[in-house]
């Protein structure tokens, strides 16, 4: 590790909790498909609705489960901050290397009660296009259309709290941008 490089490792404990939660929701989805629970709620008593909810749950949380399992096998550092930029390996749709010269702003944002660093770049399409997976491209495009940036970094899988992450990244951004 170079002197001016900050490496923030992935938190195996946080990832394990997310993995268990994702598996639980996959099991609930499977239960909805197999059992077709009886409900007094008109909406939830419809077997097509429960089948659809079950399938969506398995698909969505199955993708998250696979993403977390891949992170466990991957020994990469979660987030690296150096003179070149930020190397994001925090999630299934990580931005990879985000160059300081491309970053316009770094903002705190909350999406569904989760705090993120929103990295605003001068060429968001470049970061969408460099994704190899169609799923990752679509997810980043959806982020861009919904929230104004394809790149979001969370502390949820890192061995750091969100406020410290924000302060560290912002400090380095201001240092390297000047």
Mean pLDDT over all residues of the chain?
90
Q: How does residue 80 score in pLDDT terms, banded at 50, 70 and 90?
A: very high
> Cβ distance 149 to 108 under 8 Å?
no
Q: pLDDT at position 75, please?
A: 64
Q: What is the number of other CB atoms lying within 10 angstroms of the CB of residue 138?
A: 13
Q: pLDDT at position 37, please?
A: 77
Helix axes of 47-73 and 12-35: crossing angle, nearest 10 degrees: 150
Q: pLDDT at position 2, please?
A: 56
Arithmetic mean of pLDDT, 33-53: 83
Q: pLDDT at position 70, please?
A: 79
The residue behind tokens 């199955």 is 62
Q: pLDDT at position 24, please?
A: 97
Using CB atoms within 10 Å of the CB of residue 21, give its burial: 0 to 12 exposed, 13 to 18 middle, 19+ buried.
Answer: middle
Q: Domain boundaries in the chain?
A: 11-73, 79-177
Give tens-digit pLDDT for 117-169: 999 999 999 999 999 889 889 999 999 999 999 999 999 889 999 999 999 99
Lowest-confidence pick of 67-81, 106-120, 163-177: 67-81
């Amino acid at each position: 590790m170079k002197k001016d490089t900050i490496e923030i490792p992935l938190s195996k404990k946080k990832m394990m909790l997310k993995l268990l939660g994702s598996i639980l929701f996959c099991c609930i989805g499977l239960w909805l498909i197999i059992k077709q629970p009886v409900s007094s709620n008109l909406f939830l008593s419809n077997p097509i609705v429960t089948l659809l909810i079950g399938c969506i749950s398995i698909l969505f949380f199955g993708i998250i489960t696979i993403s977390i399992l891949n992170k466990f096998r991957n020994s990469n550092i979660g987030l690296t901050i150096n003179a070149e930029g930020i190397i994001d390996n925090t999630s299934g749709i990580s931005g990879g290397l985000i160059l300081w010269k491309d970053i316009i702003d770094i903002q705190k944002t909350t999406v569904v009660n989760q705090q993120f660093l929103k990295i605003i770049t001068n060429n968001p399409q470049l970061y969408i296009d460099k994704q190899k997976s169609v799923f990752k491209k679509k997810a980043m495009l959806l982020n861009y259309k919904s929230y104004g940036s394809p790149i979001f970094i969370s502390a949820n899988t890192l061995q750091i709290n969100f406020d410290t992450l924000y302060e560290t990244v912002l400090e380095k951004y201001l240092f390297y941008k000047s």
